[in-house]
Amino acid sequence: MISKITSGFWHERLEVNAQRAIFHQWEQLEGSGCIENFRIAAGDVDGFREGWFFADSDAYKWLDAASRIYASHPSPQLATVMDEFTALLARAQQPDGYIFTYNQIHFPGTRWVNLQIEHELYCHGHLIEAGVSHFENTGRTDLLDIARRAADRIVEDFLGKGTGHTPGHEEIEIALLRLYKITNHKPYLEMARQFIEQRGRDPLFALSIIRQNSSVDSRGKYVQQKKLEYIFTHPNFKPFQLPLGNAAKKPGNTTLRWYASALSGKYFQQHAPVRKQVVPVGHSVRFGYLETAISMLARESSDKTFIPALEKTWECMVMHRMYVTGGIGSLPGLEGFGNDYELDPDYAYAETCAALASMFWNWEMAQLTGEAKYSDLFEWQLYNAAAVGMGLDGTSYLYNNPLTCRGGVSRKPWYAVPCCPSNLSRTWADLGKYIYSSSENEIFIHQYISSEYDGGIATIKINSELPWAGKVKIVVTPSTPNQFSLNLRLPSWCDGAETHITCNGELLSVSPLSQQSEMTASGYDPRDGRWYPIHRSWKSGDVIELEFEMPIRLRRAHRKVKGHQGKVAVTRGPLVYCLESVDNLEMDIFGSTIETESLESVLDTNLLGGIVKIIGQTKTGKLLTFIPYNLWGNRGESTMTAWVNE
Ligand code: FUB
Ligand code: ZN
């Protein structure tokens, strides 16, 4: 069952993704030496490898994104680049399936030495995902063959091994499960299960981290020395100008907390077996990929014993450790979680990749449990914590996403660690897959994105005015007149009284939201998302019309979140809004106090490509203008805040 996004807010962004972002990213990968590393490894050219030991993964994620984009935008130019890169990978890959340019070039014959830190399995994972996506979207097996050789190498080298043979950055598990689903080759499933089940069972983990950290350091120093020698013996060699790293405002105790987290295993989610992990800890992208993989494994193997820990972890994240944008990761040093209610807006790391990882997890949880709250959080993170990562131009990105920025964080064309851009591109390209799901007698509409879907029992066409207006029209065309349930997700941001649903013009009743016992840390609560089943005998041309009133909704943080008393976050529909200096010249956006009664939403077709902005007055009668948080940083250096004094 596939769906195609046809118009509206997301269609525009997906066009920018396919026409601009993906080509820009390839230019940056070439310009920073990342692709050249494969040419050096293949022996095509002489040169010196540039970039982090995990740089290969950025090229693989690009290939994954390009493969997914190709399905809807079969550009010959894109095909040429993909084919040439695939051929290069075939030359660079060693005959036994191993491919990791850092070792191949600098430490020939060495492999799998620092699994917790040097990302070998993470890189192979992104290669395997690219192979699966390429096959799914082109039907070709040339890249899939490379991916399978890599996967078979890993099965050969790791299946049956114990706790000391797990990856420090989860990803390979997702890749192997995706590969299993298209090949039905059991060893891939077993390998993924082993990597998941073996986590958190090494009593000497701290010692292995100390050893590996020191080995990584000495290997890094050796590479630096080799580079100096290479430059000396190759006077014409011009080292690539690697981009800058991202800037993030950090609390004082960052390094100490990183070491504590790393040595305890929490940074890597290696502190306990996965069924005992019920609190989100450590690096937030690693965390999100692990939870995604566990959810995929639970579905694939029908192993329900994983579910309680998944549900408790999700609850704890939403209740205590997530920003109002849906961003996760409070500590820049860890690129990960702090303590409960530790949600400082200035320090907010909330990496773009972490939001994407959480969205992947939420999609799997929605399929695993059938509960609407997961698709509610998916929507909220999509529109806010993830969408903020790509500029309107498709060629500028944010890596960490503070909720208050007093300067120093701005969109960049690339980063020294460019993990987010192609992660966004591959997710945008696949967005259609997250709108619907169906079974033999049910269709679920998870997202209100304009699209068309063949659900087998019926085709569905959605025309949605979200996020600017609340009108959604759904045309249902059953393959033959038949009875089934069409399940609409009623979003947490719209109460029953604000939701109007008609079926062929007949008004249907909608019950009010039930009150939650305890409020979340951020004031946004996906647990209010619920399903609205319409069970009937459908006939061709049936029309469901929804109208979500989209009042401005003020979110207030839990009293345990320091520094937020007397502040509100302004939201409307699925969007979080913010004050950006560009729209509020001469105003102190951090010190102003808003007259909340004065807030009103206004369509402004001339602002940022046409948006609904929110205007209001300060207590002293001055005008303040709010824009969607995901659009800040599109107009040069600026300051911004999503939390405002009331
Ligand atoms: O370590 C690989 C990726 O680079 C992580 O997922 C991101 O946080 C960035 O550090
Ligand atoms: Zn990233």
The pLDDT tens digits for 58-78 are 999 999 999 999 999 999 999
Regarding whether 558 and 547 lie in a shared domain, the answer is no
Which atom of ligand 1 sits closest to the CA of residue 284?
A: 8
> Nearest ligand to the C-alpha of residue 287?
1
Regarding whether 221 and 98 lie in a shared domain, the answer is yes
Residue 504 CA, ligand 1 centroid: distance in Å: 49
Which atom of ligand 1 sits closest to the CA of residue 351?
A: 8
Whether 569 maps to a domain, the answer reads: yes
- Tell me which of 503, 530, 551 is where a domain ends: 551
Name the pTM for this structure.
0.98
Ligand 1 pocket, mutate which of 417, 422, 423, 426 (most atoms under 8 A from CB): 417
> Nearest ligand to the C-alpha of residue 119?
1
Which atom of ligand 1 sits closest to the CA of residue 289?
A: 6
Its domain, for residue 561, covers 553-645
Regarding whether 572 and 490 lie in a shared domain, the answer is no
Tell me: pLDDT of 252 over 90. no
Regarding whether 627 and 509 lie in a shared domain, the answer is no
Tell me: pLDDT of 568 over 80. yes
Residue 380 CA, ligand 2 centroid: distance in Å: 19
- What 3-state class would DSSP assign to 549? coil
Do 136 and 182 meet the contact criterion of CB atoms below 8 Å apart? yes
Residue 266 CA, ligand 1 centroid: distance in Å: 16
Residue 241's pLDDT is 82
Residue 54's pLDDT is 98
The rounded distance, in Å, linking the Cα atoms of 337 and 287 is 9
Regarding whether 584 and 541 lie in a shared domain, the answer is no
What are the E-state strand segments in 333-385?
none
The pLDDT tens digits for 584-611 are 999 999 999 999 999 999 999 999 999 9
Whether 429 maps to a domain, the answer reads: no
Whether 37 maps to a domain, the answer reads: yes
Ligand 1 contacts CB of residue 99 (under 6 A)? no
Tell me: pLDDT of 113 over 90. yes
Ligand 1 contacts CB of residue 58 (under 6 A)? no
Ligand 1 contacts CB of residue 351 (under 6 A)? yes
Cβ within 8 Å of residue 105, ≥6 positions away: 37, 40, 41, 49
The rounded distance, in Å, linking the Cα atoms of 80 and 468 is 38
Rounded alpha-carbon distances, angstroms, from residue 170 to 68, 199, 377, 403: 22, 10, 22, 27
Tell me: pLDDT of 243 over 90. no
Residue 223's pLDDT is 97
Ligand 1 contacts CB of residue 54 (under 6 A)? yes
Regarding whether 222 and 114 lie in a shared domain, the answer is yes
Ligand 1 contacts CB of residue 417 (under 6 A)? yes
- Tell me which of 241, 267, 290 is where a domain ends: 241
The pLDDT tens digits for 429-460 are 999 999 999 998 999 999 999 999 999 999 99
Whether 106 maps to a domain, the answer reads: yes
Residue 124 CA, ligand 1 centroid: distance in Å: 15
Nearest 5°: CA angle at 157, between 156 and 163? 125
> Nearest ligand to the C-alpha of residue 422?
2
Which atom of ligand 1 sits closest to the CA of residue 283?
A: 8
Do 61 and 126 meet the contact criterion of CB atoms below 8 Å apart? yes
- Which amino acid belongs to residue 320? H
Whether 416 maps to a domain, the answer reads: no
Regarding whether 171 and 47 lie in a shared domain, the answer is yes
Which atom of ligand 1 sits closest to the CA of residue 286?
A: 6
Residue 569 CA, ligand 1 centroid: distance in Å: 29
Whether 253 maps to a domain, the answer reads: no
Whether 357 maps to a domain, the answer reads: no
Ligand 1 contacts CB of residue 356 (under 6 A)? no
Ligand 1 contacts CB of residue 335 (under 6 A)? yes
pLDDT (mean) for 123-144: 98
Whether 257 maps to a domain, the answer reads: no
Regarding whether 569 and 463 lie in a shared domain, the answer is no
Residue 1's pLDDT is 60
Q: Measured between alpha carbons, how far apart are the two ends of the chain, in Å?
A: 47
**CATH (domain of 474):** 2.60.40.1180
Regarding whether 73 and 57 lie in a shared domain, the answer is yes
Regarding whether 576 and 547 lie in a shared domain, the answer is no
At 332, is the pLDDT very low, low, confident or very high (cuts 50, 70, 90)? very high
The residue with tokens 């890959």 is 93
Ligand 1 contacts CB of residue 320 (under 6 A)? no
The pLDDT tens digits for 607-626 are 999 999 999 999 999 999 99
- Tell me which of 215, 241, 267 is where a domain ends: 241
Residue 186 CA, ligand 2 centroid: distance in Å: 31
> Nearest ligand to the C-alpha of residue 334?
1
The pLDDT tens digits for 269-291 are 999 999 999 999 999 999 999 99
> Nearest ligand to the C-alpha of residue 398?
2
Regarding whether 184 and 38 lie in a shared domain, the answer is yes
Q: How far is CA 254 from the centre of its chain?
A: 24
What does the mean pLDDT of the chain come to? 97
- Better-predicted residue by pLDDT, 162 or 413: 413
Which atom of ligand 1 sits closest to the CA of residue 335?
A: 8
Domain count, the chain: 3
pLDDT (mean) for 9-37: 97
Residue nearest to atom 3 of ligand 1 (CA): 419
Tell me: pLDDT of 336 over 90. yes
Ligand 1 contacts CB of residue 132 (under 6 A)? no
The pLDDT tens digits for 522-553 are 999 999 999 999 999 999 999 999 999 999 99
Residue 109's pLDDT is 96
Ligand 1 contacts CB of residue 285 (under 6 A)? yes
Q: Which residues surround ligand 2, an ion (CB under 5 A)?
A: 353, 419-420
Regarding whether 196 and 128 lie in a shared domain, the answer is yes
The rounded distance, in Å, linking the Cα atoms of 37 and 92 is 9
> Nearest ligand to the C-alpha of residue 55?
1
Nearest 5°: CA angle at 82, between 81 and 87? 100
Q: Is the peptide bond before 332 cis (omega within 30 degrees of 0)?
A: no
pLDDT (mean) for 259-271: 97
